[in-house]
Amino acid sequence: MTREGAAGWHGKLPTVSDFASRRLDARFIDHWDSWVSAGLAKMRADDGDRWIDAYLAAPTWRFLVAPGFLPAPFHAGAWTGVLMPSVDRVGRYYPLTLAAPLQEAPIDANTQDALWAWLHRLEDIAMDALDEDWSIDALENELFRLGLPTQGGDPQPGSGNRVTGSVAEFFAAAERPCCVWHSEIDGAPTVFRSRGLHESISGLWAT
């Protein structure tokens, strides 16, 4: 799981020469990495030398994973976070994921607004982490300053627009546990639901 107090993370950073992670269970990382790696392989196969251009132009996605969606031992609770394109210090491309567990998925407007505001702020931190002047310590300090998402309370300022529609309705309409994805493409909020981890990153980032 994650150590209490801040979101965990895994992936590539411009200041690090290989994979790095904090506060995410190795089993969670293995499951997530299998999906990410398969998606990147599909992008390379489909787009050839052009895949890097598509990768670098890809939007950041905020995600909300319903209980029962991930395999044990993570299936009991909901998860939330951001997924964004990144690169390490020696030029190898791989996304950065920041993620945190939730006690439950948002069930009303207040908890939904508070969660999306937290995700906006988490995305701001992830964007800052792509700065070559940002160290792991700087990333860690900002994550602990942000803290974990709360189940309610007043929304905090962050970039971007609020999601339209009810996340609870997205989950209720699903035939089985699902994942809700949200981004802003060309300035417009974009939300959709997938029944599994989205078929591939190539499909997610081609949306």
If you average pLDDT over every residue of the chain, what do you get?
79
pLDDT reading at 113 higher than 90 = no
Q: What would the pLDDT profile of 53-89 be if each residue is shown by its tens digit? A: 888 888 888 888 877 767 777 666 788 999 999 999 9
Q: What is the mean pLDDT of residues 171-194?
A: 65
Estimate the crossing angle of helix 136-146 against helix 109-129, to 10 degrees: 170
CATH of 8-205, one of 3.40.50.300, 3.20.20.20, 3.30.70.1060, 3.40.1730.10: 3.40.1730.10
pLDDT above 70 as % of the chain: 71
pLDDT at 207 over 50: no
Residue 167: CA atoms inside 13 Å, Cβ hemisphere, count? 28
CA distances from 29 to 5, 8, 80, 150, 180 (A): 19, 10, 14, 23, 19
Q: What is the pLDDT of residues 10-53, one digit of tens each?
A: 999 999 999 999 999 888 898 889 888 988 888 888 888 888 98
Q: What pLDDT score was predicted for residue 104?
A: 72
How confident is the model at residue 4, as a pLDDT? 66
d(CA 19, CA 86): 11
**Rounded-to-5 percentages of helix, strand, coil across the chain:** 35, 20, 45
Inter-residue contact 174 to 195 (CB < 8 Å):
yes
- Return the pLDDT at 160: 38
- Asked whether the beta carbons of 128 and 166 are under 8 A apart, the reply is no
Pick from 184, 56, 25, 29: nearest CA to 130: 56
